[in-house]
Homo-oligomer: A and B are copies of this chain.
Amino acid sequence: MTTDRKPTGPRRPTLADVAAAVGVHTSLVSRVLRDDPRGFASAETRSRILEAAESLGYRANVAARGLRNARTTTLGLLLPGFTSPMYTALAKSVEEHAAARGYGLVLGTHAAGDPHETITNMLMQGRVDAMLVASGRIEDKALRRLAEWAPHRVVLLNRQVRAVKASVVLRDADAAALAVQRLADLGHRRIGGVFGPPSLDTMVRRRHGFREAMRSAGADALTVSLEGRDYAAGFSGAQRLLAAEANRPTAIFAATFPMGVGALAAAQAMGLAVPEQLSIIALHDDDLAGFLTPALTTVALPVKELGIQAVELALDMAAGGEPRRVVVPQSPHLIERASTAAVR
């Protein structure tokens, strides 16, 4: 009885401990504590059980419960990393909402090794009920195999792949268009676009929105695509756009927030006054924007809602629902700060 196998403190109380304390069978305790429809213990017994569980600090062991139910009440989240504030905002939202629904969240990043392997492992080891995948770099082929094997256990975040039926995406194109429209309204007619790799689904959509909006605004688009989408990429992208003095754009749209920061740095390094000589606007908002000089104008995306919807979709599928494609309904909106101004 008192054989603690490890020197790591007292044993966690189990159902049996609670049952023994009350003098009933474990199955009854189990039913009462879970509010099982058929747990109609007498009011007397019921309250004694609840009391004992409370005083012993009983908590159901998730491993045992998971084994029995073939469910883990845990979700997995795969991120490229925390480099972008978009990913940190997403992680926060997912963690918060998962917790609200009683689910744990296990984290996977690219830093831990091959992301496809990470997903497979988590799924096949029964570590999680479903994986939320917010990585654009996993090959379509790998995702297809995954979706074939576990169609109800993989949700793509802000990415669409034919073979994967479950996804939640933002209105990236609309967001890019919104930025362009604002710049056009300010009188800009030569606008540069700084984008990340075209292999990323988000970039395709942002670029598409950018192009369409440019067309209907009748403005000249100068676009550049970089390998990365971080500060450095934004910096060199902007540098490239601003190099030729002849046809220099009067405004720059950056497809990610860090790229916007990098673009701002590049402009200042080149001695261009922002916003007097160059307007800059970035996709996705972050607190940092307000503390740059000049403060960066952004288009805010409903990232929090993306996380919530992704969790909901995953849980729905775990409960037997069919995979589906969700477009987050909330519209992106402009947050105008000091990096944009009317063209002179």
Give me the interface of A with B, judged by CB distance under 8 Å: 5-10, 12, 57, 59-64, 66-67, 70, 72, 74, 77, 81-83, 88-89, 91-92, 95-96, 98-100, 104-109, 111-113, 118, 121-122, 124-127, 149-153, 230-232, 235, 261-262, 264-265, 268-269, 287-288, 290-293, 317-318, 320
Contact = CB atoms under 8 A, between A and B. Distances in A.
Contacts of A81: 92
Contacts of A57: 124
Given A70-B5, A288-B231, A107 B91 contact: yes
Contacts of A125: 59-62
B96 A109 contact: yes
A335 to B, nearest CB: 15
Q: What are the 5 tightest A-B residue pairs by CB atom distance, in nearest-first order? A: A99-B112, A82-B88, A8-B152, A59-B124, A63-B66
A96 B269 CA distance: 35
B95 A111 contact: yes
Contacts of A112: 95-96, 98-100
14 contacts: A5-B70, A8-B152, A8-B318, A57-B124, A59-B125, A59-B126, A67-B67, A92-B109, A95-B111, A99-B113, A262-B291, A264-B293, A269-B293, A292-B292
A149 B10 contact: yes
A261 B235 contact: no
A70 B14 CA distance: 13
Contacts of A150: 8-9
A112 B105 CA distance: 11
B96 A92 contact: no
Please state the number of chain copies in the assembly.
2
A261 B6 contact: no
A104 to B, nearest CB: 5
Contacts of A106: 74, 104-107
